């Protein structure tokens, strides 16, 4: 286990080194000074998502969704609650498929909501829809390199 982790700022996308022992304390971005963890999902476009994917040592839990999708709206509060409970052990990200069709195509999203866990820059797990709200906790337990 590493003694420090790279955490990408949800505000300015700068990579920050956070000591493992202090990860649970949150911290502020060295570039913009804003909190590294907000307890809320972060809405990203394709370019910003690529920065988080390339630079983060934490797992990324991603919800591919659309505003017009009823099941997506049903999953949204569960996803938000998971972000509030499970950060800073993972970063929770929302990707609007209508605004980012190239990103949806890259990961072969065929139905929404589509839920993904990324670790080490690669897809570690995925599922269509949400049959078990505990899946987010299971993914974080499985893929987080540190107990914060």
Task: State residue 119 phi and psi, 5-degree precision.
Answer: -145, 140
The answer to whether residue 72 is catalytic is yes
Strand partners for 43: 94
Give yes or no for a cis peptide into 113 (omega within 30° of 0).
yes
Give the Cα separation of 50 and 71 in Å (integer). 26
Task: Answer whether 87's CB lies under 8 Å from 39's CB.
Answer: yes
Task: Provide the edge-to-edge strand list for the sheet that holds 114-119.
Answer: 42-43, 91-96, 60-65, 114-119, 122-128
List the catalytic residues: 69, 72
């Amino acid at each position: 286990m590493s003694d420090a982790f790279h955490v990408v700022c949800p505000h300015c996308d700068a990579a920050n080194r956070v000591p493992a022992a202090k990860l649970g304390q949150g911290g502020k971005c060295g570039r913009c000074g804003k909190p590294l963890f907000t307890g809320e999902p972060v809405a990203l476009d394709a370019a910003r998502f690529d920065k988080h994917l390339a630079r983060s040592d934490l797992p990324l839990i991603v919800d591919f969704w659309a505003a017009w999708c009823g099941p997506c709206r049903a999953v949204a509060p569960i996803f938000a609650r998971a972000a509030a409970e499970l950060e800073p052990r993972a970063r929770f990200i929302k990707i609007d498929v209508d605004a980012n069709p190239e990103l949806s195509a890259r990961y072969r999203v065929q139905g929404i909501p589509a839920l993904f866990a990324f670790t080490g820059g690669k897809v570690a797990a995925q599922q269509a829809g949400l049959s078990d709200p505990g899946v987010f906790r299971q993914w974080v337990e499985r893929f987080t390199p540190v107990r914060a």
